[in-house]
Amino acid sequence: MKYDHIIVGGGTAGCIVAARLSEDPARSVLLLEAGPDFPDFTQLPDMLKLGWGTVNLEARAAGSPYNWSFTGQATPEQAAPMPVPRGKALGGSSAINGQTFIRGAPEDFDAWAAEGNGGWSYLDCLPYFRKLENDADFHDDFHGTDGPVPVRHHQRETWPALQEAFFQAATAAGYPYHPDVNHPEATGISQRAENNIDGVRMSMALTYIAPVRHRLNLTIRPNVQVNRIVLEGRRAGGVEVASGGDTFVVEGGEIVLCAGAVASPQLLMLSGLGPARQLRELGIPVAAELPGVGQNMRDHPNTTVRFRVKDGVPEDPNAMRALRLRYTATGSATPHDMILSPASLNTVVRDDNPAHTVNCGLYLAAGQGELWLTSADPNAPPAMNYRYLENPWDLERLREAVRLCMSFLEGDAYAPYIEEIIAPTPADLETDAALDAWLRRNVSTSYHISGTCKMGPDNDPMAVVDTRLRVRGVTNLRIADASIMPDVVRANTNVTTMMIAERVADFIKADG
């Protein structure tokens, strides 16, 4: 059987594209996912069902059946590979992530448009953000109230003591309080938005796919790995897949890669679409030279300040991440490029250290990394070098963020609660050089990899897709996931990925 649309990857974007395209009963849609599917909610494992807590950390632990367990290099100073978790189940990373529902800043999308990506300004994207959300707390022209994805915020009366302390420290330092983090004018401290209900994460498998599984024109095939795109000259005609020990080709009228910022460039290169020299070195015939594939790898470098609290400090695991502070680094021409997020350590990474944390994130890094194939074998993971903090401006801003965080923790607001600041140590903070060395040893990913198949105008030689997300050099092939971002947005990337998926579905419908 030949399908009208083959969607590769049942993650955040793939679930949305499949649901939207199958609204038209005349279109046959095939959704392929390498991980498992749980059509009945009662069969959904707890580690994919529950929100923040140790159960969630099981899902994204290295070696979990629901995690691709990629690794990358953060800096040369770190000997151990850096874990790069990506979801491997229907719902993709929305099935294992932190459920942070925060859009990019308006400036992000306006910058995309200014780079030649017409139709991608904030005002162009806003209707799609509104279309997908159902915000329980904010009802105005900037929010949706009837979309598939429920959104909630932790109100102040629910904040545990350490979240209130962070609020007091930030406002005492002069940062304003803007409750709605997704308002276009939001700055300072805001309530973190989440897509969960009563402790159940609302993945895209639950919000988009579960209501439409009955459609006869929608076929969902889990446990199917796509090895490569089948090209007929410069036309994508199908995909080669592995399932149940067999390998075969599935034909499609149009292929939409939604495999994510790691697997989408990997699949392009395995199919002969990418940097020609790299492909030839691995014996992969070059179908179309696309030098930008795997380049422009963006993320949010992040480091964690750790502290122990005094005995008897009350905690509420349901609101351990209620707040975040968005601010502009000193001397920065890019507003809101920094975020501080207070959290309990054990809601962020699996660690026997009982310390609490404030995560210091650089949300518009100047530096960029690279992703490349290590083998022509589709089962071999790609290599990733994030090249964090090589740019002096990135290092300067993250250093400032740690010192700002320390000023909060050493102030009056935290005095009743903190027993000891564990990291960085006084020696690490003694000089800028010492702190820089600590940062290089401890910087890590915020799990927001993007940009590896960037969107760009015709005169951008590194652009992989055009403004309608069609892959250059071939026909009948699009990409819709975080890999197409020209630069990472100044926020968690999941909601922007949802918006991208909503948009590409409309592009496909309009293009016939």
* pLDDT value at residue 56: 64
Q: Who has greater pLDDT, 512 or 472? A: 472
Sign, CA torsion 468/474/480/485: negative
Instruction: Return the CATH number of the domain spanning residue range 155-191+302-364+389-442.
Output: 3.30.410.40
Active site (catalytic) residues: 448
* pLDDT value at residue 343: 83
Helix (H) / strand (E) element for 277: namely helix 276-281
Looking at residue 26, the DSSP 8-state letter turns out to be T
pLDDT band at 198 (very low <50, low <70, confident <90, very high): confident
CB 158 within 8 A of CB 174: no
Angstrom distance (rounded) from CA 147 to CA 236: 33
User: Amino acid identity of 473?
Assistant: G
Rounded mean pLDDT of 429-448?
97
Any idea of the CA torsion for 321, 324, 329, 334, to the nearest 10 degrees? 120
Ordered DSSP codes for 89-112: STTGGGGTS--B--PPPHHHHHHH
Q: What is the per-residue pLDDT across 21-65, written as a single tens digit (0 to 9) for each?
A: 999 999 999 999 999 999 999 999 988 887 653 346 778 888 999
Longest Cα–Cα distance in the chain: 69
Q: Delimit the domains of the chain by residue range.
A: 2-74+82-104+109-115+201-297+449-511, 155-191+302-364+389-442
Angstrom distance (rounded) from CA 374 to CA 266: 10
Angstrom distance (rounded) from CA 448 to CA 86: 10
pLDDT band at 98 (very low <50, low <70, confident <90, very high): confident
Q: Two tokens at 324?
A: 């975040």
Q: What is the per-residue pLDDT across 2-25, written as a single tens digit (0 to 9) for each?
A: 999 999 999 999 999 999 999 999
Rounded mean pLDDT of 391-395?
98
Work out the number of other CB atoms within 10 angstroms of the CB of residue 377.
Answer: 11
Q: What is the per-residue pLDDT across 158-193, written as a single tens digit (0 to 9) for each?
A: 888 999 999 999 999 999 999 999 999 999 999 999
- The 3-state DSSP class for residue 164 equals helix
Work out the number of other CB atoms within 10 angstroms of the CB of residue 39.
Answer: 13
Locate all alpha helices (DSSP H) within 74-231, ordered by sequence: 106-114, 122-132, 161-172, 204
* pLDDT value at residue 57: 73
Residue 306 confidence (pLDDT) above 50: yes
* pLDDT value at residue 219: 98
Q: Two tokens at 443?
A: 């910087």
Q: Domain 2-74+82-104+109-115+201-297+449-511 sits in which CATH superfamily? A: FAD/NAD(P)-binding domain (3.50.50.60)
Residue 237 confidence (pLDDT) above 90: yes
Could you give the percent of the chain with pLDDT greater than 90? 86
* pLDDT value at residue 319: 65
Angstrom distance (rounded) from CA 99 to CA 493: 11
